[in-house]
Each structure stands twice: as structure tokens, then as C-alpha cells.
């Protein structure tokens, strides 16, 4: 990845920050986007401390804001005149009984998880297609592959990301691009910890339900992302890579 330009959304924390560290360690130039400006600055400070030679730019960007996305990607084009990899990581959880789910929360899940993925992928494609190369990695979820109760908005949005990924792979593959998705299971991030604290998730029950007996780590998802973005995965296109410790393989609850 040395010298390649990698854009990561939702890069300030969790899986996005782990992706940034993985790609920086591999020698990539980084464009980091996140709506949380202070957290993004902290992340950039950590990265420049750990990787003094990294070329880095950041932009406080909400992926559901189409003009903000366009502005951020134009800044990437202006700095490097290219984009090699997009990691479409920004997203949110929506865990609530459907009878209590408001229209506003439904729209928020779709706006961030699906529309944001579309806006960023389209902006990246407009840079990549003229160059005849590029890799897009969309962060879906195991709940885009299998369903669960009280997650209607989340499952719907991530399931749509899965099909969006396959559609782009079929459309842009002949143009030299690869488009894949990563579908993580439960990963120990700040988001999961907050859901546990709110008693929306039972950590011990999740561990028991997972055949591997534990939650994943952001670094494990980042390692998968680094592989899928690399030339080692040059013939992988339109694939949904599930990393869930065996959750979706285990039909017995």
C-alpha cells in the first residue's frame, strides 16, 4: 500500500481508527473523514505520533450531507490527484423495538448507513473511474446478511449496503475497480460498550452465542480490510466478507 491514497470515513474511533493505523503502517497516505471534529483531531495526533512520515489530511464531514461529501473528496483530488482506496466505514446502530421506532430514527439509519455509503462511493468513483483503478470497501454488517429482532432499520440499511456493493462491483468491475464489503459481527468498540451500558446488549450472552467465544477486535477487521484493498485480493470483487466469529454459521441458538 506504500504511496497509495486511502480515504476512511468514520475514522476517528473504533474500526475506522484501526483501519487508519493499519493503512498507515503499510505506508499509505491517509484522508480521514468524521463528523466528530475534536475526536478526528485527536486521532490525527495519534497517527502522526505513531507514524511521523505519514501524509495525512482530515475533514470534519457528515457522510449524510451530500455537499460536505463532495467538498471533502474534491479536497482529496486537489491534494493527490488520485484516490486508490475508499473505506466506507461511517455508520450508526439502530437498536429498538419496531413498534417504538420513530420515522426520524428510521430515516437517520438510512441516511447514514445507506445514503452516506452511496454519496462517498459515488464521489470516490468519480475520481477512480477516469484512472481505471481503485478499491472500495463498504462496511456492511452480519445483520445485512442475517436478521435479528428489534433491528429493522439497521438490518434494512445494512442489507441494502450488501446489494449496493454487489451492484457497484458488477457495474464498475469492467472499468478497473473492485468493490467489496466487510460484514463484521460483534466487535468490541465504543459503540458496543455504550449499548452494553444501556442494557441493549448482553455481553456475556453475545460471547456464549458466538462459536469463537468472544467478540472481535477493531484490529482484526482492519487486517481484513488491508487484505481486501491489497493486490493479494486482486480477483475478489463483489464479495461480502463476513467476520463474525462463526455467528452466522451457527443456526442453533
Q: Can you list the positions of beta strands (E) in the chain?
A: 5-9, 29-34, 56-60, 85-88, 134-139, 177-184, 240-243
Q: What is the pLDDT of residue 192?
A: 85
At 217-234, the pLDDT tens digits run: 999 999 999 999 999 999
Judged by average pLDDT, the poorest of 42-51, 196-205, 238-247 is 196-205
Say which residues have a Cβ less than 8 Å from residue 111's Cβ, sequence separation at least 6. Answer: 64
Q: In what order do the strands lie in the sheet with 85-88?
A: 56-60, 29-34, 5-9, 85-88, 134-139, 177-184, 240-243
Query: Out of 119, 143, 154, 186, which one is annotated catalytic?
Result: 154
At 60-97, the pLDDT tens digits run: 999 999 999 999 999 999 999 999 999 999 999 998 99
User: Can you tell me the distance from the alpha carbon of 199 to that of 150, in angstroms, rounded to the nearest whole number?
Assistant: 14
Q: What is the pLDDT of residue 95?
A: 87
Q: Which grid coordinates belong to 75?
A: 479536497
In eight-state DSSP terms, residue 216 is B
Is residue 137 assigned to a domain?
A: yes
The residues facing 187 across adjacent strands are: 216
- With beta carbons less than 8 A apart as the criterion, state whether 41 and 33 touch: no
Average pLDDT, the chain: 96
Query: pLDDT above 70 covers what percent of the chain?
Result: 100
Residue 143 designated active-site: no
Mean pLDDT of 39-66: 97
- State yes or no: pLDDT of 22 exceeds 90: yes
The total number of structural domains that make up the chain? 1
Q: What is the pLDDT of residue 247?
A: 96
Is residue 239 assigned to a domain?
A: yes
- With beta carbons less than 8 A apart as the criterion, state whether 184 and 216 touch: yes
Q: In Å, what is the CA distance from 83 to each residue of 87, 121, 124?
A: 11, 11, 7
Q: What is the pLDDT of residue 128?
A: 98
Domain that holds residue 200: 5-243
Is residue 136 assigned to a domain?
A: yes
Nearest CA-CA partner of 56 in 17, 91, 112, 99: 17
Q: Which grid coordinates belong to 158?
A: 445494512
Is residue 100 assigned to a domain?
A: yes
Q: What is the CATH number of the domain that holds 225?
A: 3.40.50.720
- State yes or no: pLDDT of 174 exceeds 80: yes
Under the banding of pLDDT at 50, 70 and 90, the label for residue 251 is confident
Amino acid at each position: 500500500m506504500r504511496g497509495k491514497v486511502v480515504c476512511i470515513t468514520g475514522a476517528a474511533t473504533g474500526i475506522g481508527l484501526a483501519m487508519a493505523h493499519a493503512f498507515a503502517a503499510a505506508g499509505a497516505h491517509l484522508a480521514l473523514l468524521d463528523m466528530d471534529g475534536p475526536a478526528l483531531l485527536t486521532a490525527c495526533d495519534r497517527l502522526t505520533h505513531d507514524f511521523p512520515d505519514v501524509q495525512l489530511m482530515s475533514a470534519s464531514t457528515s457522510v449524510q450531507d451530500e455537499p460536505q461529501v463532495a467538498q471533502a473528496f474534491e479536497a482529496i483530488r486537489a491534494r493527490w490527484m488520485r484516490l486508490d482506496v475508499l473505506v466506507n466505514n461511517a455508520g450508526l446502530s439502530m437498536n429498538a423495538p419496531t413498534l417504538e421506532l420513530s420515522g426520524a430514527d428510521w430515516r437517520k439509519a438510512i441516511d447514514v448507513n445507506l445514503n452516506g455509503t452511496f454519496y462517498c462511493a459515488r464521489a470516490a468513483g468519480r475520481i477512480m473511474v477516469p484512472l481505471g483503478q481503485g478499491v472500495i470497501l463498504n462496511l456492511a454488517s452480519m445483520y445485512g446478511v442475517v436478521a435479528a429482532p428489534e433491528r429493522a432499520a439497521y438490518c434494512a440499511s445494512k442489507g441494502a449496503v450488501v446489494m449496493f456493493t454487489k451492484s457497484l462491483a458488477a457495474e464498475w468491475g469492467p472499468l478497473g475497480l473492485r468493490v467489496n464489503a466487510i460484514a463484521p459481527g460483534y466487535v468490541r468498540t465504543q459503540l458496543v460498550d455504550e449499548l452494553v451500558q444501556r442494557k441493549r446488549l448482553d455481553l456475556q450472552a453475545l460471547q456464549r452465542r458466538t462459536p469463537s467465544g468472544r467478540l472481535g477486535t477493531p484490529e482484526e477487521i482492519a487486517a481484513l480490510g488491508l487484505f481486501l484493498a491489497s493486490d493479494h485480493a486482486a480477483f475478489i470483487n463483489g464479495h461480502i466478507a463476513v467476520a463474525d466469529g462463526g455467528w452466522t454459521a451457527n443456526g442453533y441458538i
